[in-house]
Amino acid sequence: MKARSAVAAAVALMAVAMSAPVQAADSKSNESMEWALAHKLTSSTVSHALRSTYNRPTLLVVQSSCQWESAMEALGASGSLTYGAETEPEVDWKNQSVVVVAMGQMPYGYDLSVREARQSEGKLLVDVHVDYQSYENNLDDESPVAVLVVNGHGMNRVRAMYDMDLPTLVKASNAPNCGTAHGGPALVSVGGSTDSAPTLAVTWGSLKATYR
């Protein structure tokens, strides 16, 4: 029964991704143009895991140790970190930035990778590949994450472009406020509204509850 419910929920999540309108055509065209004109940055993935501390979809751009601590504090306070704050990566904060892309709790078979990073004025753009292998099992859920170090600085906003438009993924985020009690990243949901935590149209947890 558990396996059957997980299969049904995973299929439903895929169906939502494929049937929901992605974005208006002119918006997609603008995104493609911005990407084409943006400056390519050297980057490297310093951490990748299928089961991470991030239990909710997360998108971060961080440019200082203080911002990292502030982001982890805010995520922890919101209950978004299952195993506590992630260790700060080794990075030259004077010349580099860190990007975190996390899918949150997902059914087994999902994964992600950041293929490329570019800079458009004060914005960081990342090209994210979402992979999906198989849902025909009853294995435990995953929480995929990729942490990227980018050779670039001064980017106070990040926008992720996913090749699979799952409704749970966070599309954009502002850099966290440094040294503020609740100065975590401002996240933008599918609808484009800004908040201190992701506002999701559909979550994996709600789908599982529906198909139990």
Domain residue spans in the chain? 2-210
pLDDT in tens, 24-34: 455 677 788 99
pLDDT at 199: 33
Q: 103 with 143: CB under 8 angstroms?
A: yes
**Residue whose structure tokens are 């992630």:** 86
Residue ranges, the chain, pLDDT below 70: 1-27, 135-137, 180-212
pLDDT at 31: 81
Compute the CA torsion angle 64, 67, 73, 77 (nearest 10 deg).
Answer: -150
pLDDT at 76: 96
**Residue whose structure tokens are 């090749």:** 163
Phi/psi at 67 (nearest 5 deg)? -65, -40
Kindly state the tokens that stand for 177: 């406020």
pTM: 0.77
Report residue 183 CA to chain centroid gap: 18
**Spatial distance between the Cα atoms of 108 and 6, rounded to a whole number of angstroms:** 9
Kindly state the tokens that stand for 176: 């966290």
- Please provide the distance, in angstroms rounded to a whole number, between the alpha carbons at the two ends of the chain: 8
pLDDT at 187: 53
pLDDT at 43: 97
Q: 48 with 86: CB under 8 angstroms?
A: no
pLDDT at 168: 92
User: Which residues contact residue 161 at a Cβ distance below 8 angstroms, ignoring those fewer than 6 apart?
Assistant: 31, 35, 125, 126, 127, 128
